[in-house]
A and B are shown apart, each in its own frame.
Chain A
Amino acid sequence: MKRRRRDRLGDILSYAFMALMFVFFSWPLIWLLSMALRTRKEVFLGVARLIPKSPTLDNFVAVLTSSQFLVYLVNALKLSCLSAVGCLIVAAPAAYAFSRFDFKGKGLWMLGILAFQMISPLVIMVPLYRYMSRLGLIDGHFGTTMVYIALGVPVVTWLLKGYMDGIPRSLDEAALIDGCSRLSVFVRIILPLSTPGVASAFIITVIAGWSQFLVPFLLITKDSLVPIGVGIFQYAGTQNASTIQILAAACLISVVPAIVAFLALQRLILSAMTAGAVKG
């Protein structure tokens, strides 16, 4: 009886907290939507017109017809997904080694990898550009993807190592005694068990890639190859062009594909996470 009452109190507190957080995270987006639906005349009416009197989709039409927004979105999706997959392929074996092997200088190696992350891409930009142009990797998605991967690897390695640490070593050992090779232990046992970690690492890299700005800004100049992070900046850029409501529509369009992907993927991610939890 007492327990049930406490649970109910907990539920109420949970709801209150979730509501508060929801308001915090959604208010800017609601405001953005409200702006994007307004006509030029209503833009300056503030909160009083949160729901516009004559909502219009013209702003979205203007964004989508006057620029290559769809192309930017596809480019961003391609770059971020490819680099996320690449990141996992590169980082997972290293994470396994860091989690399972004891070797000299392990801590240094891990810190060294993380140190890459600590160097601001800002200053790397200039030498990076000079280097990539010498390699002939300017204005293509390959070079950009590889740099995204290099940028994402440290985080992914660290995260995956963390998850793999949580998988009991006894499982590896049993398999090794059964005559499995290290590689097959990694592929058959560790990887499937780290699905939750892999899933969250994947999301994290996709999103990091999605909002990349400096690297593609520097390495890509062809408009047909530019991803959304740069595209929206170019769109907002021209002195004569920007008007709040159209900019709002542009910002909103830049996140829509990600929202759709999330909603679609959420089930997948969730089931992966829970599956991992049960097994672990």
Chain B
Amino acid sequence: MSASAARRKPSILGASGRQNRLPSPYPWLMPVILVMGLFYLYPVIDVFRYAFTDLTLLGGEGHYTLSTFGNVLRRPELAQILWVTFVFTAGSVIGQQVIGLAIALVVVRAEKRRLFGTTILRTTALVAWVVPGIAGGIIWKMLFNEAPFGGLNSLLRLMGMAPVQWLSDPDIAMWSVVLSNIWRGTAFSMVVMYAALKAIDPTLYEAAEMDGATARQKLAFVTLPQLRPAILVNMILITIQTLNTFDAIIALSGGGPGRATEVLSLYTFNVVFRNYDLAAGSVLSILMLAISLGLALVYAAFLPKEDRS
């Protein structure tokens, strides 16, 4: 065990493996290429094509034009939409990552100490995650209902506290939506973090313990550095998921009051399905793609060297 661990570092860059064979990766990538190419690529290309037209959902062939891009990007509401999207995404991603990691750490510790209740906590979080988006919106709408019998306000009243304007105050509404998204999405991060924690080589902890490291030092110098790639990949994935989230928001607040919770994906939805503007919707989805790609590159810059290539 320890021998293989010791040999690990040099062998990654070692020449022996490469000299053996230099296999072509393409047979291995073939299934992915086939499935994506056959079932997804064509529509994606069409989206790019649509962005350069003035197509609507109502039919007609439309004409090729460059003006859609300018028209969409100059819309006065776009700045606010992007700000709302930023707050929603940052809040959700940070919340899910931090809570997901914390739960994973505590669960792993609790399992080691044979504490009671890890299974039930994990299962509850997982259940929140399987709730379909629309149903999640319905549930939180019941909770945030500001009528005297609403799920949270009736609880506050029972405890003698003032009711909160969960969704009717534009400043609070955003955080209510973020809260519901954290509730629903944290389990994903928890699963990823849990598996990554379990995969950390136990000999590293043994070594740290021999050096007399405290729990906090072990966390800072062993666990977190070892988790770094997993955390970054997880952040990339949940950022993309969050940017694309709209079903839960549409059921919860519809983007209101006003535009207070209208994120970019919901805005795109409204443009396509209320305005029937397929071309503008395509431009917006390319904008969304550009934002995701940009963020992914930023995250990737923090990946350890050998993962970057």
Contact = CB atoms under 8 A, between A and B. Distances in A.
Interface of A: 6-7, 10-11, 14-15, 17-19, 21-22, 24-29, 31-32, 35, 43-48, 86, 89-91, 93-94, 96-98, 101-103, 106-107, 109, 111, 113-124, 126-128, 130-131, 143, 146-147, 149-151, 153, 155, 157-159, 162-163, 165-166, 168-173, 176-177, 182, 196-197, 199-200, 203-204, 207, 210-211, 213-214, 228-229, 232-233, 236, 244, 247-248, 250-251, 254-255, 258-259, 262-263, 266, 273-274, 276-277, 280
A131 B25 contact: no
Contacts of B138: 236, 247, 251
A147 B113 contact: no
A254 B143 CA distance: 18
B284 A14 contact: no
A14 B109 contact: yes
A119 B25 contact: no
Given A10-B109, A176-B17, A280-B201, A28 B158 contact: no
Given A123-B281, A277-B199, A159 B233 contact: yes
Interface in B119-173: 119-135, 138-140, 142-143, 147-151, 153-155, 157-158
14 contacts: A25-B125, A28-B151, A46-B154, A47-B154, A93-B31, A97-B28, A124-B44, A150-B39, A173-B16, A173-B20, A211-B131, A211-B132, A214-B247, A276-B198
Interface of B: 4-5, 7-8, 11-12, 16-18, 20-21, 23-25, 27-32, 35-36, 38-40, 42-44, 46-47, 50, 57, 99, 102-103, 106-107, 109-110, 113, 115, 117-135, 138-140, 142-143, 147-151, 153-155, 157-158, 183, 186, 188, 191-192, 194-196, 198-199, 201-202, 215, 229-230, 233, 236-237, 240, 243-244, 246-247, 265, 268-269, 272, 278, 281-282, 284-285, 288-289, 292-293, 296-297, 300, 307-309
Given A115-B289, A170-B11, A162 B150 contact: no
A28 B199 CA distance: 32
Contact of A122 (B40, B196, B285, B307): B285
B240 A147 contact: no
A179 B248 CA distance: 53
Contacts of B288: 118-120
B294 to A, nearest CB: 10
Nearest to A227: B132
Contact of A119 (B229, B285, B309): B285
A117 B240 contact: yes
Given A18-B118, A113-B36, A123 B47 contact: yes
Contacts of A116: 36, 40, 44
A274 to B, nearest CB: 7
Contacts of B215: 6, 10
B144 to A, nearest CB: 10
Given A22-B117, A94-B31, A123 B284 contact: yes
A114 B153 CA distance: 41
Contact of B128 (A18, A25, A120, A229): A25
Contacts, number: 323
B117 A204 contact: no
Nearest to A147: B39
A150 B199 contact: no
B127 A21 contact: no
A116 B46 CA distance: 13
Contacts of B157: 46-47
Contact of B289 (A119, A258, A263): A119
Contact of A236 (B102, B134, B202, B293): B134
B268 A229 contact: no
A94 B28 contact: yes
Contacts of B289: 115, 118-119
A111 B236 CA distance: 11
Contact of B191 (A163, A172, A203, A210): A203
A58 to B, nearest CB: 19
Nearest to A242: B138
Given A120-B244, A199-B195, A207-B130, 18 more contacts: A7-B113, A18-B121, A94-B29, A109-B29, A119-B47, A119-B288, A124-B40, A153-B35, A170-B8, A172-B17, A173-B17, A177-B20, A211-B130, A236-B134, A244-B142, A255-B135, A274-B198, A277-B198
A233 B138 CA distance: 10
B127 A259 contact: yes
A250 B128 CA distance: 15
B117 A200 contact: no
A177 to B, nearest CB: 8
Given A10-B109, A94-B28, A158 B237 contact: yes
Contacts of A165: 229, 307
A103 B25 contact: yes
Contacts of A236: 134, 138
Given A116-B44, A117-B240, A123-B282, A213 B247 contact: yes
Nearest to A247: B138
A234 to B, nearest CB: 10
A277 B205 CA distance: 13
B35 A15 contact: no
Contacts of A93: 27-32
A89 B268 contact: no
